[in-house]
Amino acid sequence: MTNFGARLSALPHADRVLLKAMIAAALGLLGLGVALGLMTALARAGLIAPEPDQGYAALTLHSTAAFFYWLYLGQSALLLAFAAADHTGPGRIALAPLAWFGFALMLVGFALNAAGTLAGEPLLYDGPPELATESRGAAGIFYLGYIALALGLIGVASAAIATAFAPKLAGRIGAWSTISFGAVVWAGLLVVSALAALNAFLPAAIWAFGGGTLPIDHSVGWHLLFHNMHYLPLIGTLLTWYVLVGELTGVTSLFGSRFSKLVFCLYLVFVPPTSLYHMFLEPGLAPIVRLIGSLLSLFISVPTVAAFLLLIASLEASARARGARGLFGWIGMLPWRDPAMSAIGMAVVNLAIGGALSFVLIQERLAPLLSDTFFVPGYFHFLTIGAVSLTLLAAFCRVIPALNGGQLRLASLLARLPYALTLGLILFGGAGVLAGLRGMPRRVLDAGYDGASPAVWASLSTWLGVGGAIMTLALALYVGTLLVSLMPGRVRPMPTLTPHALSTMTADAALSKPAWSGPLSVIVLVGAMVALTIVAFRLMQSLPIAAIGGGGH
Amino acid sequence: MPIHRPFTTRRGFLATLSFGAISLYGVWESLDTGAEPAAGASHNGAHDADPAPTAAGHEGHGASDSGTSTKEFERLAREFIARHARADGSVEPLGAAAPISSDDDDMEHGASHGMSHEADAEPDGGDDASVAIDVYLMATQWAYEPAVLHLKAGQPYRFRMMALDASHGASIQLGSGSHVIRLRRGVLVERTMRLEGPGRYLLYCTVYCGAAHDRMSGMIMVS
């Protein structure tokens, strides 16, 4: 058992029960979300034909379960685990009743979201009030679900912050470690997400229950929330990589705790102001706002790239100090047979793909080509499933055995699932991006338009279904295997895990070695961004439509 | 004794490299100075139909849009449809109402221009490519009016569009890609565009608008 695992195992029983309950609920909602996602992908592929109400209800619950509840519950569990088990000495979750209450509120939130969806018009996960004028009561229940989720998240994040502060206040530690510091920043950003959710849905709920007027700016609040939802989890992703790399290889940052903490703080600076690009298509948005939005969005990758470089340089330099040869020989020294290692390895690949694609969308002049098309889910599934979810699953592969005192079930299968998931994602996301470039809309069950749509939409929809099915299978196996590993009574003794020995050299010895993989990765990433942007521009310029200078009278 | 660090493991290098994606701005600039991207540069006027007009409109231009409602837009659109309807129910706009002004691309210009303009305009045959012909398009759950438009290739048209009940899209599928347009309820959106080649172009909704969202489509026939 490793240090982090040992400290998790040493948590009080009640704390371990809380963490296991949160992980089980998160995995269950992920399973539900991907099953409903498969249903919508198969409907698009023409393999099933649900009634429109059923199909859009499935799409609504797919995205609320997988995008909101899985990600928030999964992050909450991991955040509490990091905060409670970071330090030597007796760890425990502070304000545990608040954490339990927050957890319960989040579950209530999903129940309300589901009840509201099934009782009224399916609104999809952004829940525009203007579509709910005939079923305001059901919509109100749906909005209350998000409000409960947000309040629950604030409760859990507050408990995590209190947990990180507890050893400081007790005088057991001086300065926070990088992990505790990162956990506090992460918790703070989760509170920001929760406030964004309240900002988006509280006015809608008030209107739905008869108070106030129809919130006509709901879409603005939604876009702010959506932006936070799929970028802020990246800090949790990077922090998890940081923890897991230490667990798996023994390597920690060679650049000092202060530098790592500074990098985590960059998320506070660069992510929140970069949300404007989601609104480029909004009528009435001034050109200068669109231009500023584009320029600000260029900075969105800074914290993630910085954290990535810090980790990669530390790993590569340490491996070279241990004798790694060639440009990429160090990669072969990593423990790829460990399920957590293969998962974070593929998460890096998916994050790079999703990041490169997102930089096409942030160019305001490309919005009329890509916004509201399938390009959007095409790219954000790389981020939310391929990067964030895969990282959460990697962490659970370590956390669950530690909490349960037993072995992970089917570890060799789990070590291979990230490759299958990435394959499915590349098919799904690749087909989605190509379909988006051809104008295929998102959020439709049938893009045939009675034969009037381009034939390529149908063939790409088939690939969406194939990719979605592979993703679903991989995620279902993840969910099933991890849930079985969580069950009591199926415990086998937990083996002693030895971190891969890349860390036995001193930091100075490692820092004397070059680390080229990070710079090369950035060059490749920027090159991909440039190529994709040029392709999109050229496609747009080739369309048989021309702008005329003025509106005229 | 201080160790020699290669630049690839120096903090300053890593920090600088983190800003690598900013270099994309240079690509944007070079693309901006190239050929004009057709769809991306289209005139985008948007005017909230309900709030009070801005002072940036064209003073002395005739009727103000002050308080113009979705009902007013619907009235104008129905007049347009009645004037240009063909026997099969499709619409072929022939009148010219909008001579193009190169300095008239300010998004704020329109809150007080021309909701009543179409009603005043006299058709002139629409063959002059320097004159944009007004096209009114209403989007409602789950249809467009007019549903089928007949347009001329190379002729500029000023599309005046409004979603009357909920947000909708009014996107045009153009073969290898689409021109995506988002309409918000009660907001007048103007785009002056010219379709370059003949063909049948799908008009479709790209903003989820309810159970029959994926049935909401129309057709633009360009000859």
Nearest CA in chain B to A538: B37
Do A112 and A140 meet the contact criterion of CB atoms below 8 Å apart?
Answer: no
Distance CA A102, CA A25 (A): 13
Nearest CA in chain B to A451: B202
Distance CA B34, CA B214 (A): 36
Look at strands B98-99 and B131-140 and give their pairing. Answer: antiparallel
Distance CA A356, CA A372 (A): 18
Q: A 496-515 residues with CB below 8 A of B?
A: 508-515
* pLDDT band at residue A407 using 50, 70 and 90 as cut-offs: confident
Q: Is the pLDDT of residue B103 over 50?
A: no
CB contact under 8 A, B21 and A298: yes
Residue B127 has a pLDDT of: 44
Please indicate if any CB of chain A lies within 8 Å of the CB of B89: no
CA dihedral sign, ordered A116, A121, A125, A131: negative
Could you tell me which of A79, A92, A32, A77 has the C-alpha nearest to residue A58? A32
- B134-to-A419, B53, B75, B95, B196 alpha-carbon distances in Å: 54, 21, 15, 7, 17
Q: What is the pLDDT of residues A418-466, one digit of tens each?
A: 999 999 999 999 999 999 999 999 999 999 999 999 999 999 999 999 9
Do B98 and A551 meet the contact criterion of CB atoms below 8 Å apart?
Answer: yes
Please indicate if any CB of chain B lies within 8 Å of the CB of A124: yes
Q: Which amino acid is at A41?
A: A
Residue A388 has a pLDDT of: 95
What residues of chain B lie within 8 A of the CB of A450, using their CB?
A: 217
What average pLDDT score do residues A354-383 get? 92
Please indicate if any CB of chain B lies within 8 Å of the CB of A439: yes
What residues of chain A lie within 8 A of the CB of B171, using their CB?
A: 372, 439, 441
DSSP conformation class of A408? P
Which member of A439, A446, A508 has the closest CB to residue B214?
A: A446
Do A415 and A336 meet the contact criterion of CB atoms below 8 Å apart?
Answer: yes
Please indicate if any CB of chain A lies within 8 Å of the CB of B173: yes
What average pLDDT score do residues B163-179 get? 95
ipTM: 0.90
Distance CA A274, CA A300 (A): 6
Residue A123 phi, psi dihedral angles, 5° rounding: -100, -5
What average pLDDT score do residues B52-74 get? 51
Residue A139 has a pLDDT of: 97
**Global confidence as pTM:** 0.90
* pLDDT band at residue B98 using 50, 70 and 90 as cut-offs: low
- The residues, ordered by sequence, that sit 6+ positions from A308 with a Cβ below 8 Å of its Cβ are A238, A348, A351, A518, A521
What average pLDDT score do residues A520-528 get? 94
CB contact under 8 A, B167 and A130: yes
Q: What is the pLDDT of residues A242-257, one digit of tens each?
A: 999 988 998 888 888 8
- Closest Cα in chain B, distance from residue A37 (Å): 17
Q: What is the pLDDT of residues B69-83, one digit of tens each?
A: 899 999 999 999 999
What residues of chain B lie within 8 A of the CB of A363, using their CB?
A: 28
Which member of A254, A540, A544 has the closest CB to residue B9?
A: A254
Residue A44 has a pLDDT of: 87
- Closest Cα in chain A, distance from residue B2 (Å): 9
> ∠ CA B21-B25-B27 to the nearest 5 degrees?
105
Could you tell me which of A430, A428, A417 has the C-alpha nearest to residue A468? A428
Q: What is the pLDDT of residues A131-154, one digit of tens each?
A: 998 899 999 999 999 999 999 999
Residue A511 has a pLDDT of: 75
**β-bridge mates for residue B218, sequence order:** B203
Q: What is the pLDDT of residues A323-363, one digit of tens each?
A: 888 888 999 999 999 999 999 999 999 999 999 999 998 88
Which member of A282, A365, A544 has the closest CB to residue B37?
A: A365
Type and span of the H or E element at B195: strand B187-195
What residues of chain A lie within 8 A of the CB of B160, using their CB?
A: none
Distance CA A121, CA A125 (A): 12
Please indicate if any CB of chain A lies within 8 Å of the CB of B185: yes
Q: Which amino acid is at A475?
A: L
Residue B35 has a pLDDT of: 42
* Number of alpha helices (DSSP H) and beta strands (DSSP E) in chain B: 4, 13
Q: What is the pLDDT of residues A178-221, one digit of tens each?
A: 999 999 999 999 999 999 999 999 999 999 999 988 898 898 89
CB contact under 8 A, A516 and B8: yes
Please indicate if any CB of chain B lies within 8 Å of the CB of A288: no
Q: What is the pLDDT of residues A225-280, one digit of tens each?
A: 888 877 778 899 999 999 999 889 988 888 888 999 998 888 888 877 777 777 88
* pLDDT band at residue A504 using 50, 70 and 90 as cut-offs: low
Is the model more confident about B181 or about A501? B181
